[in-house]
Copies of this chain bind each other. A is one copy, B any other.
């Protein structure tokens, strides 16, 4: 079903090194967006900087997108398939749970058109909703 990790990387022009395959595998198994610190904690044996550059490479090549949720550290999550180096299609809402402090992509919640004053031109929209997530609600 799911294409193998190696091809996922090469399709995005990312050389499939051992580290990158491990990070991709990790990302595929997350339900929430991850921070560099998350990776660092999980991959204790490896270098912080390499993980940092791995995320940066993934982002550049359109494999992940970054989310500034206001928590102080940037989060990363896998992109929908149609993202590329040239253009990120990330017009969905991001949600930060005030209780578990996890950040989620809500790809089904689309960002509405925003009416701006005259002569303001939109190039990018960032919509961050904060509240209580479904896991923490019950």
Contacts and interface: CB of A to CB of B under 8 A. Distances in A.
Interface of A: 68, 70, 93, 95, 98, 106, 108-109, 112, 114-134, 137-138
Nearest to A113: B112
The number of times this chain is found in the oligomer is 2
Contact of A137 (B93, B109, B119): B119
A120 B108 CA distance: 13
Top 4 A-B pairs ranked by shortest CB distance? A119-B134, A123-B131, A124-B130, A126-B128
Given A109-B117, A120-B134, 19 more contacts: A68-B70, A93-B116, A98-B123, A108-B117, A114-B127, A114-B129, A116-B131, A117-B134, A118-B134, A119-B133, A120-B131, A120-B137, A121-B132, A123-B130, A124-B131, A125-B128, A125-B129, A126-B126, A128-B128
